[in-house]
Chains A and B, each alone.
Chain A
Amino acid sequence: MDHLDELEAEAIYIMREVAAECEKPVMLYSIGKDSSVMLHLARKAFYPEKPPFPFLHVNTTWKFREMIEFRDRMAKELGIEMLEYINEEGVKQGINPFDHGATYTDIMKTQALKQALNKYGFTAAFGGGRRDEEKSRAKERIFSFRNENHAWDPKNQRPEMWKLFNTRINQGESIRVFPLSNWTEKDIWQYIRRENIPIVSLYFAAVRPVVERNGNLIMVDDDRMRLLPGEKIEHRKVRFRTLGCYPLTGGVESEADTLDAIIEETLASVESERTSRVIDSDGGASSMEKRKREGYF
């Protein structure tokens, strides 16, 4: 068994524990590479049965178009149950990433996620978070408990011994489960290559229309993109290391248009992947922990 086999076996074990012990699980699906790996593992974990839970995509309505196409194609091909949730109230109020900044993330992502979990009454939600992503994630348990307001209490986490997960919760509480906790970005890419896992084409370098904003290359994915004075659309060969809402996701200039080239580039990289996520730099070093305490995934 090599390193990837070990990580795979652990993730499958975790998924099976949740399916066996939790009342109403769901797998959050963000369409990114980690979600692709999660979906792949879920299919392996229960084969020949289909994953015994639905998948949920919280759509902010500002995702890259290629992401939505990919999502719909995967759901159809694999015959899995894919739920979509949009915070319609936010849409009605015209909440958008240009005018509302952090409020946008809160309303269209955090609030939307809480509303979706409440709507369906899910008691456990799988997420693709990894501990190598960010400092507060590095501290989070694989089974992470949320109170009735979906808030995380980092100072009082339930002990997690060996692989004996205590999945019991009180009324109104829920669990976030992170089967990829111990994976690194490098592991994800190597596993994608080994297992031939389909991922959104945005990860591969291609010539795309972008504008440079605060040192980030933002893709002009549709005509809702607002240009600031002086900004002009350029066509550059870029790829994305993480995927999210297109106005908030910075691309990197790259020639890597194959998996091998991406892996090579990742291994040589001097920047961690979250630097290309504009949202993380709002609010300083502990912004992620703050958002998680408020119910962000």
Chain B
Amino acid sequence: MNDQLLKFITCGSVDDGKSTLIGHMLYDAKLLFADQKRALELDSRVGSADGQIDYSLLLDGLMAEREQGITIDVAYRYFSTDNRSFIVADTPGHEEYTRNMAVGASFASLSVILVDASQGVLIQTRRHARICALMGIRHFVFAVNKMDLVDYREEPFRKIEKEIKILMSEFEYESLRIIPVSATKGDNVTVKSERMPWYKSVPLLQYLETVDVSERTGRTGFTMPVQRVCRPNHEFRGFQGQISSGTVSVGDEITVYPSREKAKVTAILIGEKAVESAEKGRSVTLQLDTEIDISRGCVIEREYDLTVGSMFTAHILWMDDKSLSAGRNYLLKLGTQQIPATIMNIQNKIDVNTGEEIYTDSVSKNELANCEISLGSKIVFDRFENNRELGAFILIDRITNSTAACGVVKRALQRGKNLTYHAMDINKSLRETQMGQKARTIWLTGLSGAGKSTVANALEKQLFAMGRHTMLLDGDNVRLGLNRNLGFSEPDRIENIRRIAEVSKLMNDAGLIVITSFISPLLRDRRNAKEIIGENFFEVYVNTPLEECERRDVKGLYKLARAGEITDFTGISSPYEAPEHPDVTIDTSVLSIEQCVETIIKALEI
């Protein structure tokens, strides 16, 4: 007898026969009560024309499911054979109900994924395999079902076997078994099929009875998130929670996170019984030797080294009808901690079919994505692969209270970890992360009439549409305010550029993308601006030929300059020093405005 309880799920595409497989297993293994069996036989007679037993009716328990003949939500079934106890979560195959499938996956340690032998690996098969891996399942069985439809031949099975192995090579797993079955006919479900002599291994149930699903990965130190403080009177103070990892013993020196205060364990209670030690999975009450500040949300640990931080990257499954876009605020629950959280940046979403990472700024229901999450305050966490309970979280919509997403922590973001607990400096990089962008000063230089303002305007609109936070500085908003005391003498022109550069730098520090649109004809002025602004300086040379600028002469200034009515006019009576190494060069007489904007954005690499 394997005393390890096996929690598993069945999943796969719709109509691949999940419910039928489990139904048949229960029926064959004589695991049904007589009245359930009678009801099944009765229901089948009502539902099907030929009076054959429809095993799926055992599991599809909701009225809507029976009406539509589909599975909407997870059904849990409990059964034991002589060799093992099982809990099976039968999950829906329709894409629409993916989140319900994920609910089942989060509960299981093994997944039985069904594949229709006549169809092969489908998108939904891949989606489910991916979600199983995300939710932490490391043991996989693929039941290649409906072998009766391919005449129990080996060749189609081997082809699908190959497809499965290619699919699974993307994931980390500890065990993988591929079994040819027929759920309706019962081949290789509970007894070995004689119709597939080429399959040499054990039938499904026998495999499930013996597979070892103990976790081999993960860290072994002791961790316990505190659920509540038990304080019935002033003599007793205990900390209640369920142990996430490792073992705790009386006398152990533990550390409380996030404060990192230390204490010794003086007593461990399981219920009302005092014990010497307790292991992972136990719900306990701990008493400590010193009065330290501990409340719900703290984590007690020993020899573990948890992360305290306010930012991490995560792999998420989006479940809400409203799609996710960066910058939205949610409540995050991780362990027993609950705090406001912002999705800073959606790095990409995953094509469920190919596994490809696709650049995106919004994620819809049932999609998988990678993103950066910033928290309202510091919390205690670990990577999911180290600790299932301190590395998994849900996001809650603050208005509807629905569970909008679930996800796992991939890694702490360094800037989060480097912050000290007491003084959190809000710096440029934090602001950038909060805004989900990299600050830049896009410095447009070129002759009067070259098209700088038009390009600057169009560029800002495009960046804004991309969800970027921008500011445009041009003659209109600088000359009339900040620099209204400056004229056009040489020192004033230098000061003009210096002030623009300083303002740009401040705005960059605020996390903004700044676009400046000034003629700025002199190399040394622009060099000066670059020195002030630093690495964020991005020079765009709007290199439209003088003839074209003069032809356009939007403000009639060239005419006046030619007539000598304006002195020191760039390009006519004073020099324009072209940039030696601009980051990008555009010519508005050759490119359309859209093309110019596209060229700049491409060069910016944002």
Binding site for B on A (CB under 8 A): 1-3, 5-6, 8-10, 12-13, 16-17, 19-20, 43-50, 131-132, 134-136, 138-139, 141, 154-155, 157-164, 166, 168-170, 181-182, 184, 186, 269-272, 275, 285-286, 289-290
A49 touching B283 by the CB < 8 A rule?
A: no
Interface string of B392-421 (1 = CB under 8 A from A): 111010001111001000000000000000
Asked if B11 is at the interface of the complex by the 8 Å CB criterion, the answer is no
10 other A-B residue contacts (CB within 8 Å) besides A43-B271, A160-B403, A161-B394 = A13-B227, A20-B336, A47-B285, A48-B236, A139-B73, A154-B72, A159-B102, A162-B107, A184-B78, A289-B63
B392 touching A16 by the CB < 8 A rule?
A: no
B99 touching A269 by the CB < 8 A rule?
A: no
Asked if B347 is at the interface of the complex by the 8 Å CB criterion, the answer is no
Tell me the interface secondary structure of chain B in the complex: mixed
Interface string of B437-462 (1 = CB under 8 A from A): 00000000000000000000000000
A138 touching B102 by the CB < 8 A rule?
A: no
Would you give 10 A-B contacts (Cβ < 8 Å), ordered by A?
Answer: A3-B3, A13-B283, A16-B228, A136-B62, A139-B74, A155-B64, A159-B100, A160-B103, A164-B333, A290-B63
Given contacts A3-B5, A19-B228, A48-B236, contact A289 B78 (CB under 8 A): no
Cα–Cα distance between A6 and B3 once the two chains are bound (Å): 12
Cα–Cα distance between A44 and B272 once the two chains are bound (Å): 6
- Residues of A with C-beta under 8 A to B296: 20
- Determine the residue in chain B with the shortest Cβ distance to A40: B271
- Residues of B with C-beta under 8 A to A289: 61-63
Size bracket of the B interface: 35 or more
Asked if B77 is at the interface of the complex by the 8 Å CB criterion, the answer is yes
B403 touching A1 by the CB < 8 A rule?
A: no
Given contacts A3-B3, A16-B228, contact A162 B282 (CB under 8 A): no
- Residues of B with C-beta under 8 A to A132: 77-78
Given contacts A182-B87, A289-B61, contact A48 B232 (CB under 8 A): yes
Which residue in B33, B39, B87, B271 is a CB contact (below 8 Å) of A44?
B271
- Residues of B with C-beta under 8 A to A181: 76
Given contacts A13-B242, A182-B87, A184-B78, contact A166 B406 (CB under 8 A): no
Cα–Cα distance between A159 and B106 once the two chains are bound (Å): 10
Shortest A169–chain B CB gap in Å is: 6
- Residues of B with C-beta under 8 A to A159: 99-100, 102-103, 319, 394, 403, 406
Shortest A124–chain B CB gap in Å is: 14
6 smallest CB-CB distances across A and B, nearest first, come from: A135-B61, A44-B271, A12-B283, A272-B33, A49-B232, A270-B34
A275 touching B35 by the CB < 8 A rule?
A: yes
- Determine the residue in chain A with the shortest Cβ distance to B407: A161
Cα–Cα distance between A6 and B99 once the two chains are bound (Å): 26
Shortest A155–chain B CB gap in Å is: 6
Within 33-53 of B, Cβ neighbours of A (below 8 Å) are at 33-36, 39, 43
Interface string of B77-89 (1 = CB under 8 A from A): 1101000010100
- Determine the residue in chain A with the shortest Cβ distance to B243: A9
- Determine the residue in chain B with the shortest Cβ distance to A1: B281
A-B pair count, CB < 8 Å, reads 166
Asked if B66 is at the interface of the complex by the 8 Å CB criterion, the answer is yes
Cα–Cα distance between A268 and B232 once the two chains are bound (Å): 44
Asked if B432 is at the interface of the complex by the 8 Å CB criterion, the answer is no
Asked if B230 is at the interface of the complex by the 8 Å CB criterion, the answer is yes
Cα–Cα distance between A45 and B236 once the two chains are bound (Å): 15
Shortest A178–chain B CB gap in Å is: 11
- Residues of A with C-beta under 8 A to B76: 131, 138-139, 181-182
Asked if B240 is at the interface of the complex by the 8 Å CB criterion, the answer is yes
Task: Give the residue among B99, B388, B400, B401 with the most A Cβ atoms within 10 A.
Answer: B401
Shortest B560–chain A CB gap in Å is: 68
Which residue in A10, A134, A170, A182 is a CB contact (below 8 Å) of B78?
A182
Cα–Cα distance between A154 and B64 once the two chains are bound (Å): 9
Cα–Cα distance between A159 and B392 once the two chains are bound (Å): 14
B281 touching A155 by the CB < 8 A rule?
A: no
Cα–Cα distance between A184 and B271 once the two chains are bound (Å): 21
Shortest A69–chain B CB gap in Å is: 26
- Residues of A with C-beta under 8 A to B87: 182
- Residues of A with C-beta under 8 A to B402: 158, 166
Which residue in B272, B333, B334, B393 is a CB contact (below 8 Å) of A47?
B272
Cα–Cα distance between A45 and B282 once the two chains are bound (Å): 11
- Residues of A with C-beta under 8 A to B107: 162
Cα–Cα distance between A136 and B73 once the two chains are bound (Å): 10
A286 touching B66 by the CB < 8 A rule?
A: yes
- Residues of A with C-beta under 8 A to B400: 170
Cα–Cα distance between A286 and B77 once the two chains are bound (Å): 17
A20 touching B406 by the CB < 8 A rule?
A: no
- Determine the residue in chain A with the shortest Cβ distance to B331: A168
Cα–Cα distance between A118 and B85 once the two chains are bound (Å): 40
A138 touching B61 by the CB < 8 A rule?
A: yes
A47 touching B281 by the CB < 8 A rule?
A: no
Shortest B568–chain A CB gap in Å is: 67
Interface string of B53-74 (1 = CB under 8 A from A): 0000001011110100000111
Interface string of B272-312 (1 = CB under 8 A from A): 10000001011101000000000010000000000000000
- Residues of B with C-beta under 8 A to A168: 331, 396, 401
Asked if B162 is at the interface of the complex by the 8 Å CB criterion, the answer is no
B401 touching A170 by the CB < 8 A rule?
A: yes
- Residues of A with C-beta under 8 A to B61: 134-136, 138-139, 289
Cα–Cα distance between A163 and B388 once the two chains are bound (Å): 10
Cα–Cα distance between A127 and B392 once the two chains are bound (Å): 27
B106 touching A47 by the CB < 8 A rule?
A: no
A49 touching B78 by the CB < 8 A rule?
A: no
Cα–Cα distance between A35 and B392 once the two chains are bound (Å): 32
Interface string of B222-264 (1 = CB under 8 A from A): 0000011011100010101110000000000000000000000
Asked if B75 is at the interface of the complex by the 8 Å CB criterion, the answer is yes
B401 touching A166 by the CB < 8 A rule?
A: yes
- Residues of A with C-beta under 8 A to B271: 8, 12, 43-45, 47
Cα–Cα distance between A83 and B102 once the two chains are bound (Å): 39
- Determine the residue in chain B with the shortest Cβ distance to A45: B283
Shortest A134–chain B CB gap in Å is: 8
B392 touching A47 by the CB < 8 A rule?
A: no
Cα–Cα distance between A285 and B401 once the two chains are bound (Å): 33
Asked if B389 is at the interface of the complex by the 8 Å CB criterion, the answer is yes
B39 touching A285 by the CB < 8 A rule?
A: yes
- Residues of A with C-beta under 8 A to B331: 168
Interface string of B304-333 (1 = CB under 8 A from A): 000000000000000100000000000101
Asked if B265 is at the interface of the complex by the 8 Å CB criterion, the answer is no
